[in-house]
């Protein structure tokens, strides 16, 4: 087995503290290691290297001390010691490293969402097509066992022909008001960063032969996080110890997986893009925090999204229901349960089955999806087909962004349908 040598561009939470940790855990099994990391923030590089070295020592791995750090993404991509590039920068910074890495012949993983603008997304997809090697997109639901099980059951015609989809996602992600995501220019907003996963699921379940005809949506910014002139810059400078939105009080945010946030580059950050604990009430954020949207596909399937980024944690904070001509599939992401209610042959003959999809890595980040993602990256490097693996590619990212933008347009028009071009 050839050594898979990973270079990570963007050494923040997602790249080095989540995926980096999973790579360390799987290093021996998959013959994989991180050889270089890149970030425009030198302090963040230092913190990430120190963290990864600690993780390597905990696993008795010796490669942590040899990780190269650079502020130049081209330098990282050009390294002979890198044969796979993971891009986990801020969303508006995806285009340049993605295109350069693909054109350099390196295997590329690009974290979702693909971009902020359609122009950038199209450029990334064009580079992928020219190179003839698909980019792996990081839509985590595609790598989670419960969502894969639901797709498997749907494709097996367990509930007949798909008619409707509903995704209910009320996940407390007020961190979007506290980090770089708070600006549409940087992230495309919370709808792009969070709901792009779910809009990709709609397309995944409906199938590649169907296209969305139009979107109608309402939503916007709630009154919950109205800007306050007296809001402090950061939680770090705030004396309100009981604020439910307080961040970085401890070394780790318990509900977010392996995210270490109180190192030097986080605690002493001065640039807006680098601060991770901005007050949720601080003026300047221009993102929306809730939406109800309906998507009509040309094969007759209707999909509905009920989405918000505030509220408490709950077992049913994200669910999906697939309604077919002969039954229903209900997914609970938090519990890992996938339930089937289906008509049988003849009257009073129905099937009711609960599948427990929790595997040994369910307690890991994204309910085990990141472990599966790294396994799929290894398999792709070894020559397996992305479609056969069930992975998303750059074109899926482009089509998800198109749905995000159509949804935003309909919200701005107070529910007037937005046609898909």
Number of neighbours of residue 66 by Cβ within 10 angstroms = 13
User: Quick one: average pLDDT of 296-314?
Assistant: 96
- Assigned domain for 270 exists: no
Q: Say which CATH number the domain at 304 has.
A: 3.30.360.10
- In this structure, the answer to whether residues 194 and 335 fall within a common structural domain is yes
- Assigned domain for 277 exists: no
Residue bearing the bigger pLDDT, 78 or 246: 78
Question: CA-CA distance, 69 to 188, in Å (whole number)?
Answer: 28
- In this structure, the answer to whether residues 184 and 327 fall within a common structural domain is yes
| Residue of 372, 273, 314, 360 lying closest to 39 (CA atoms) | 273
- Assigned domain for 273 exists: no
- Assigned domain for 235 exists: no
Report pLDDT for 258. 44
Which tokens hold the place of 256? 């977010």
Return all residues near 149 (Cβ < 8 A) that are at least 6 apart: 338, 355, 357
- In this structure, the answer to whether residues 304 and 180 fall within a common structural domain is yes
Report pLDDT for 268. 87
Output the CA–CA distances (angstroms, integers) from residue 234 to 21, 175, 186, 349, in the order listed. 27, 12, 19, 59
- Assigned domain for 336 exists: yes
- In this structure, the answer to whether residues 160 and 204 fall within a common structural domain is yes
The confidence band for 346, taking pLDDT boundaries of 50, 70 and 90, is confident
Q: What angle do CA 304, 305, 306 make, to 5 degrees?
A: 120
- In this structure, the answer to whether residues 160 and 113 fall within a common structural domain is no
Q: Would you give the DSSP letter of residue 414?
A: T
- In this structure, the answer to whether residues 62 and 208 fall within a common structural domain is no
- Assigned domain for 236 exists: no
- The model's pLDDT over 354-412, given as tens digits with 9 standing for 90+, comes to 999 999 999 999 999 999 999 999 999 999 999 999 999 999 999 999 999 999 999 99
- In this structure, the answer to whether residues 137 and 192 fall within a common structural domain is no
* Structural domains of the chain, count: 2
The confidence band for 263, taking pLDDT boundaries of 50, 70 and 90, is confident
- In this structure, the answer to whether residues 158 and 130 fall within a common structural domain is no
- In this structure, the answer to whether residues 401 and 346 fall within a common structural domain is yes
- Assigned domain for 93 exists: yes
User: Quick one: average pLDDT of 95-115?
Assistant: 98
Output the CA–CA distances (angstroms, integers) from residue 131 to 104, 124, 125, 134, 420, in the order listed. 9, 11, 10, 8, 28
Q: Would you give the DSSP letter of residue 289?
A: -
Q: Would you give the DSSP letter of residue 328?
A: E
- Assigned domain for 110 exists: yes
Residue owning tokens 């059951």: 153
- In this structure, the answer to whether residues 137 and 154 fall within a common structural domain is no
Model pTM?
A: 0.95
- In this structure, the answer to whether residues 402 and 384 fall within a common structural domain is no
- In this structure, the answer to whether residues 295 and 193 fall within a common structural domain is yes
Question: CA-CA distance, 370 to 360, in Å (whole number)?
Answer: 13
The domain in which residue 211 lies consists of 145-225+285-361+397-419
Question: What's the mean per-residue pLDDT of the chain?
Answer: 94
Question: CA-CA distance, 160 to 164, in Å (whole number)?
Answer: 12
Q: Say which CATH number the domain at 378 has.
A: 3.40.50.720
Which tokens hold the place of 322? 């697939």
Number of neighbours of residue 360 by Cβ within 10 angstroms = 8
Report pLDDT for 260. 58
């Amino acid at each position: 087995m050839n050594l898979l040598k990973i270079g990570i561009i963007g050494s923040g939470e997602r790249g080095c503290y989540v995926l980096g940790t999973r790579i360390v855990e799987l290093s021996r099994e998959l013959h994989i290691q991180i050889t270089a990391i890149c970030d425009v923030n030198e302090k963040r590089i230092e913190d990430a290297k120190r963290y990864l070295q600690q993780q390597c020592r905990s696993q008795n791995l010796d490669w942590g001390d040899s990780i190269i750090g650079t502020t130049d993404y081209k330098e990282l991509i050009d390294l002979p010691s890198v044969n796979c590039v993971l891009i986990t920068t801020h969303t508006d910074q995806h285009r340049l490293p993605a295109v350069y890495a693909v054109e350099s012949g390196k295997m590329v993983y690009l974290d979702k969402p693909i971009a902020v603008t359609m122009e950038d997304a199209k450029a990334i997809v064009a580079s992928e097509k020219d190179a003839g090697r698909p980019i792996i997109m990081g839509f985590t639901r595609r790598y989670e066992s419960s969502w894969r099980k639901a797709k498997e059951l749907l494709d097996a015609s367990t509930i007949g022909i798909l008619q409707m989809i509903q995704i209910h996602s009320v996940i407390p992600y007020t961190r979007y008001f506290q980090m770089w995501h708070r600006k549409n220019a940087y992230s495309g907003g919370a709808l792009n960063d969070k709901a792009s996963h779910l809009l990709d699921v709609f397309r995944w379940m409906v199938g590649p032969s169907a296209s969305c005809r139009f979107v109608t949506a309402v939503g916007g910014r709630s009154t919950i996080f109205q800007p306050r002139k007296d809001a402090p810059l950061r939680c770090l400078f705030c004396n309100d110890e009981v604020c439910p939105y307080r961040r970085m009080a401890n070394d780790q945010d318990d509900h977010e997986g392996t995210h270490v946030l109180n190192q030097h580059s986080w605690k002493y950050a001065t640039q807006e893009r680098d601060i991770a604990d901005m007050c949720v009430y601080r003026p300047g954020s221009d993102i929306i925090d809730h939406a109800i949207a309906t998507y009509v596909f040309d094969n007759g399937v209707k999909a509905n999204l009920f989405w918000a980024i505030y509220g408490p944690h709950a077992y049913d904070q994200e669910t999906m229901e697939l309604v077919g001509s002969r039954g229903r599939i209900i997914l609970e992401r938090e519990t890992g349960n996938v339930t089937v209610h289906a008509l049988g042959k003849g009257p009073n003959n129905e099937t009711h089955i609960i599948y427990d999809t929790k595997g040994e890595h369910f307690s890991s980040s994204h309910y085990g999806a990141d472990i599966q993602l790294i396994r799929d990256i290894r398999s792709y490097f070894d020559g397996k087909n992305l479609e056969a693996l069930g992975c998303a590619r750059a074109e899926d990212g482009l089509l998800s962004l198109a749905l995000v933008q159509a949804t935003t347009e309909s919200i701005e028009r107070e529910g007037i349908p937005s046609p898909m071009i």
